[in-house]
Amino acid sequence: MSSRFEGRTVLITGAAGDIGQAAALRFAGEGASVAVFDRRQDLLSGTVEQCEALGAKVLALAVDQTKPEAIEQGVAEVTENLGVPAVLFANAGYGKFAKLLDQPATDWDRHVAVNLTGTFLLVQAVARRMVEGRAGGSIVINTSSGAVQYSDLLGAYCVTKAGLRMLTIGLASELGNYRIRVNAVMPGVIETGMTGPMLTGPNGMAHRAGLLSDTPVGRLGGPEDVANAVAFLASDEAAFITGDCILVDGGQTIHGHPRWYRSDYRAEMDADWQVVQ
């Protein structure tokens, strides 16, 4: 594997999850010192062990990005121990199915707090240190294909992810003078622990078959597919790319997927949402 990130510090959030872990391993394997955040430090043990096995220096911290003080403290600790991050992959996120009509305010607020406000505060804290360091940097935000393709019963998720898409563009514009590039990846259906329950069992297998039939590359995505895109955008090979939001979905959105639920709109005054098969 190459050493594109030799001597650089890379910070990854949501690093206990499949996509975050895959990204951490990709950067570790390419020579980076890796800082990994998640809500609980014990959840990061697997990621840490695998990154260290690749010879990387690793710092794992429990950071709840709904808490501004935790973000600030975590970023300060990374800077003190590993240096100013040259790369940030803002990956942590939250999603829960619900009808918008029935969505509790607490669930809506959590989507906003984790996906939108938390990501903004994290990026802001890291970008401020990049500016102070006067060495530029690269920020990659994990949005979702839901940022451009609405998925029923995932309204709060899609709305907040769409907000991150515009945040990416705004940050790219405002941070350009400091030679900080900002881009986003928009994954489609990636096989992870989060999507697994929706892709197994009788309904899940039918849904999987439907998705596969409408995915031009002929398969669903894996965490490594996202990690590969993130590593490219963060690298010097993408030095002339900023403010872009790249779909990593195998072409699923060409046909309006992914869609987990559907309702027959011929029925008046009755919304009966069924799993798409």
Whole-angstrom distance, CA of residue 257 vs CA of residue 118: 27
Name the catalytic one among 33, 144, 145, 151: 144
Q: How far is CA 87 from CA 24, 35, 257, in A?
A: 11, 10, 31
Dihedrals phi, psi of 62, to nearest 5 degrees = -85, 115
The residues, ordered by sequence, that sit 6+ positions from 73 with a Cβ below 8 Å of its Cβ are 63
Which residues lie across from 174 on neighbouring strands? none
Q: Which amino acid is at 9?
A: T
For domain 9-191+225-250, the question of CATH label 3.90.1300.10 is answered with no
Whole-angstrom distance, CA of residue 172 vs CA of residue 222: 27
Residue 76 has a pLDDT of: 98
CA 257, chain centre distance (Å): 19
Name the catalytic one among 161, 178, 261, 265: 161
The DSSP call for residue 39 is S
Q: Report pLDDT digits (tens) over 23-75.
A: 999 999 999 999 999 999 999 999 999 999 999 999 999 999 999 999 999 99
Whole-angstrom distance, CA of residue 179 vs CA of residue 187: 26
> Percent of the chain having pLDDT more than 90?
84
Whole-angstrom distance, CA of residue 261 vs CA of residue 269: 18
SS3 at position 130: helix
> Sheet of 180-187: strands edge to edge?
58-62, 33-38, 9-12, 87-90, 137-142, 180-187, 245-248
Residue 118 has a pLDDT of: 98
Residue 161 is among the residues annotated as catalytic for this protein: yes
Q: Report pLDDT digits (tens) over 85-138.
A: 999 999 999 999 999 999 999 999 999 999 999 999 999 999 999 999 999 999
Name the catalytic one among 94, 138, 145, 157: 157
Domain boundaries, the chain: 9-191+225-250
Half-sphere exposure of 116 (CA within 13 A, CB side): 17
Tokens found for residue 263: 């309702």
